[in-house]
Structure 1
Amino acid sequence: MKVLLVGGGGREHALALAIAKSPRLTKLWCAPGNAGIAEVAELVPVKAEDISGLLRFAVEHAVDLVVVGPEGPLVAGLVDRLAEKGIAAFGPTEAAAQLEGSKGFMKDFAARHGIPTAAYGRFTNAAAARDFAATRPLPVVIKADGLAAGKGVVIATTRDEANRAIDAAMLDRAFGNAGAELVIEDFLDGEEISFFALSDGTRVVPFGAAQDHKRVFDGDKGPNTGGMGAYSPAPIWTPAMEEQTMRTIVEPTIAGMAKEGAPFRGVLFVGLMLTDNGPELIEFNVRFGDPECQVLFARYDGDALALLDDCARGKLNPFAGGMRDVAALCVVMAAENYPGDPRTGTEIRGLDRASNIVGASVLHAGTKRDGTRILSAGGRVLGVLGVGATVKDAQRIAYQAVDAIDWPEGFCRRDIGWRAL
């Protein structure tokens, strides 16, 4: 099979490594990719948001399957455009991608189908939003309706903070058009977890769970990010919780989307809060999370390409393969000033030294090659993985590899995995 992978982050590096192991693969391209992905795939100089460019490449090169990594091209309808040309794609259509593309759509959908989630309101007027927020218990959650690169959420602990968040999004357009409409919802108390399920539009199977660390600094301090690290398995996630989540959230979602004329194919990323009432939905994403994707595929024992292709073609069988009985932990190394305006173009050394540690590997997220040098080219730059018998072992290996990397302009959290330990 000839495969085009879309994206250029750590998630895509994890997918590229998994796809490259498949005996079905004959050719792997990645658009636009990064310096790490270039070691297993041919890079294509087309941006992930360039729908026409991706379509043209897929047609000209007779691509058999397009695997779409990031949410942007999914929400923009890349899968629909490929289908018009008879090209299979792993990922949902534009209509199905609304589950992530619009927080308001997701909340209304959950309400229609009886899916447990926090009480909420939708607003296009700042004054009305402030009035509603004033009636809700603190803390209150303010969310941009559209895509905001994982940064459009504020958990306001005071009324003033809530009002400032509303005004920043709706009046100052801190998140651009994504914040023109807001969802304001009650805060769910409990422990957060990321759960993933694969669907071919009718059938759905669990893929695994991981715990992410969203705050930028140790001790869950500082602003939210796209993710500073993750680990799997999470001790708090039990078979009973997985069964309940499938029954009360995932299966009603897949059935509901099909009933509403937008069958969901691809991976459903279920952001959950494990509350006293059981698992409750925080949000849906319609693609693999990053860095969760890195730890899940580090544990996956099966033919990833066959799995993704079966999803895309409506032929998903009960989960073939499975997760190895090991733990994986990913530490994200980010560029100075992230999640603000990250410092880019700095040289990263010692990657081979880190990768040579037993059980360790380094995945690239925001890098580019300059001759023999590897330079930073984004905010989250590296995912440093450790795989071991336990989460503690994986953590030790991952930080040993982090310490082998020479990158003074980078930083990371030093407490990834603390909940499990």
Structure 2
Amino acid sequence: MRVMVVGSGAREHALAWKLRQSPLVDALFVAPGNAGTAAIATNLPIRANDIPALADAAQQHGIDLTVVGPEDPLARGLADHFQDRGLLVAGPTAAAARIESSKAWAKEIMAAAGVPTAACRTYVDLDAALAAVRSAQPPIVVKADGLAAGKGVVVAATHAEAEAAVRDMLGAGTLGEAGRCVLIEECLTGQEVSLLAMTDGETIYPLLPACDYKRVGDGDTGPNTGGMGAYAPVPAVDAALQQEIVARIIEPTVTEMRRRGITYRGVLYAGLILTADGPKVLEFNCRMGDPETQVILPLLDGDLAALFDGVARRRLSDVPAPRWHDGAAVGVVLASGGYPGSYATGYPIHGLDRLPEDVIAFHAGTAMGDDGTVVTAGGRVLTLVARGPDISDARQRVYAAVPGVEFTDMAYRQDIALRETQPRAAARG
């Protein structure tokens, strides 16, 4: 099987890393990839949003299966274009990807399917949205309807903050088309969890639950980012709760889309919050999560290529359900100083060749310098991941490895998965 992965982040490096282990995969390509994927696959210099060029490359290289990492090309119709040209792709059509590209439509699907989620109203008029904010009780959640690269959600502690967010989106148009419609939503409390599931529109295979950290600073301070770290599995989500989430959230959503003539083929990512009234949906995504993928795939004891092939061919039931290694995985993102604001790139990265064998470096914003060294080329540069018999051990291993990697202005959170180790420490006295 000749496989192409679309994307350039640590998620795509993790996908390529796991696909490379499959006996089914004879050749592996990543478009556009990064310095890490170049070591295990053939990078193709094609932007993830250049859909015609990606399809041309798939035909030229005899690609049997394409796996799509980021959401934007899916929302733009990559799967539709590939299918029209007779190319097999594991990813939802643009109609199905609306589950992420339009939060308002996702709410409509959830309401029709009876899926538990936060109460909200949708607005396109600035004055109406401001009136709704003024009548709401803080904290107030303001969401842009469309794709906003992780910048479309504001949890406002005061009316003034919520009003500023609404004015930015609907008034000033800071998010462009993504913010021309906004959702004013109740703020739910509880632990946030990501549950990803592979589906061909009928069969559903849940993956391990994971927790990610969106804010840039320790203690969940500072602005939101694409994700600063993650861990899996999640002790709060046992087998019974996972089964409940699939039955009450994932299955009804897939069924409701199918009822509307939309067959969902790909990974459906449910961003959840575990409230006192049970799990509720914060948002849906139409692809693998980043950085969740980086901690889920090292725990997968099975053939990722076979699973994605089953998804793409609508024959997932013919593939054994995923099995999992014992233990846990913890991932820490090493970022450029200043991220998610302005930052400099082009700094040499040292120490990657000296990492312990039990620590994996998944590349994101990296490139090959003129002298052949790996240099920084983005905001999130690397995700270091370690496995261990439990979360505490995996966390200790990955943080022990962090100082061995160096580049100018390197920044990272020091509290990834810490909350899962503190109760155990207290119990031991």
TM range (shorter): over 0.9
Cα deviation code 1:16-44 (max 9, x no counterpart): 00000111111111100000000111000
How far is the alpha carbon of 1:268 from its aligned partner?
0.6
Which residue does 2:255 correspond to in 1? 255
Structure 2 residue aligned with 1:344: 345
Superposed, 1:51-66 pairs within 5 Å as 51-66=51-66
User: In 2, distance between residues paired with 1:131 and 1:39?
Assistant: 55
1:399 — aligned with what?
399
What aligned pairs does 1:143-158 form with structure 2 within 5 A after superposition?
143-158=143-158
8 Å CA contact retained: 1:195, 1:209 = yes
Determine if the alignment matches structure 1 residue 386 to structure 2 residue 386.
yes
- What's the secondary structure of 1:171's corresponding residue? helix
- 1:360 matched to 2:359? The reply is yes
Distance 1:389 1:409 in 2: 32
What is residue 246 of structure 2 aligned with on the other side? Answer: 246
Q: Which letter maps to 2:61?
A: H
Question: Structure 1 CA distance, aligned partners of 2:322 and 2:288?
Answer: 18
Which residue of the partner structure matches residue 71 of structure 2? 71
1:2 aligns with 2:2: yes
Q: Match of 1:333, SS?
A: strand
Map 1:289-328 to 2 at 5 A: 289-317=289-317, 319-328=320-329
Structure 2 residue 170 is the aligned partner of structure 1 residue 163: no
- In structure 1, the residue matched to 2:284 is 284
The whole-number CA distance in structure 2 between the counterparts of 1:342 and 1:240 is 44
- Tell me the amino acid that sits aligned with residue 365 of structure 1: A
Contact 1:205 1:319 (8 Å CA) reproduced: no
Letter in 1 for 2:359: A
**Distance in 1 of aligned mates of 2:69 and 2:388:** 27
Partner amino acid, structure 1, of 2:342: D
Aligned equivalents of 2:219, 2:361: Cα separation in 1: 24
Q: For residue 60 of structure 1, report the CA deviation from its aligned partner.
A: 2.0
Identity %: 44
The equivalent of 2:330 in structure 1 is 329
Q: Is the 8 A contact 1:195 1:270 kept in 2?
A: yes
The whole-number CA distance in structure 2 between the counterparts of 1:175 and 1:349 is: 36
After TM superposition, give the deviation of residue 135 of structure 1 in Å.
Answer: 2.1
Using the TM superposition, name which of 78-87 and 335-344 deviates more: 335-344
SS at match of 1:122: strand
Q: More displaced, 180-189 or 342-351?
A: 342-351
Q: Secondary structure at 2:419's aligned position in 1?
A: coil
In structure 1, distance between residues paired with 2:233 and 2:168: 37
TM superposition shift of 1:319: 4.5
Greater fraction helix = 2
* 1:301-355 Cα deviation digits (max 9, x unpaired): 101100111011101126534110121000001111101122211111111112x
Provide the rounded CA distance (Å) in 1 between the counterparts of 2:269 and 2:343.
Answer: 27
Cα distance in 2 for partners of 1:290, 1:303 equals: 20
1:29–1:358 distance in 2 versus 1, CA, 3 Å: closer
2-side partners of 1:176 and 1:111: how far apart? 27
Please give the per-residue CA displacement for 1:137-184, whole angstroms capped at 9, x wherever unaligned: 211101111111112110001000000001111222222211111111
- The CA RMSD measured in Å over matched residues stands at 1.0
Spell out, residue by residue over 1:226-255, the C-alpha distance to the aligned partner (whole angstroms, 9 max, x if none). Answer: 110000111111112111111111000111
Aligned with 2:6: secondary structure? Answer: strand
Distance across 2 between alignment mates of 1:176 and 1:160 = 22
- Distance apart, 1:287 and its partner CA: 0.5
Q: One-letter code of the match for 1:258?
A: R
- Determine the C-alpha separation between the residues in 2 that align with 1:304 and 1:99: 24
Measure, in 1, the Cα distance between the counterparts of 2:337 and 2:381.
10
TM-score normalized with structure 1 length: 0.98
Aligned residue for 2:231, secondary structure, equals: strand
Render the CA deviation track for 1:352-393: whole Å, top value 9, x for unaligned. 112xx1421111011000132111111111001111111111
Task: Name the amino acid aligned to 1:293.
Answer: T
- 2:205 and 2:321 in contact (8 A); partners too: no
Preserved CA contact (<8 Å) 2:209 2:237: yes
User: One-letter code of the match for 2:327?
Assistant: V
- After TM superposition, the structure 1 stretch with the greater mean CA deviation from structure 2, 278-287 or 105-114, is 105-114
3-state SS, counterpart of residue 301 of structure 1: coil
Q: CA deviation at 1:194?
A: 0.4
Q: Secondary structure at the match of 2:28?
A: strand
State the AA in 2 paired with 1:242.
Q
Deviation string 1:252-282 (CA, Å, 9 cap, x unpaired) is: 0111111111111111110000001100000
Change (3 A) 1:321 1:282: closer
Partner of 2:134: 134
**Quick one: distance in 2 between partners of 1:74 and 1:358?**
35
State how far apart, in whole Å, the 1-side matches of 2:326 and 2:163 are.
Answer: 47
Distance 2:227 2:156 in 1: 20
1:186 corresponds to which residue? 186
1:21-36 equivalences in 2 (<5 Å) = 21-36=21-36
Q: Secondary structure at the match of 2:343?
A: coil
1:419 CA drift (Å): 2.1
Distance 2:224 2:210 in 1: 18
Which piece of structure 1 moves more, 337-346 or 36-45? 337-346
* Structure with the largest fraction of strand: 1
Between the aligned partners of 1:254 and 1:39, the Cα distance in structure 2 is 37
Shift of the alpha carbon at 1:136? 2.0
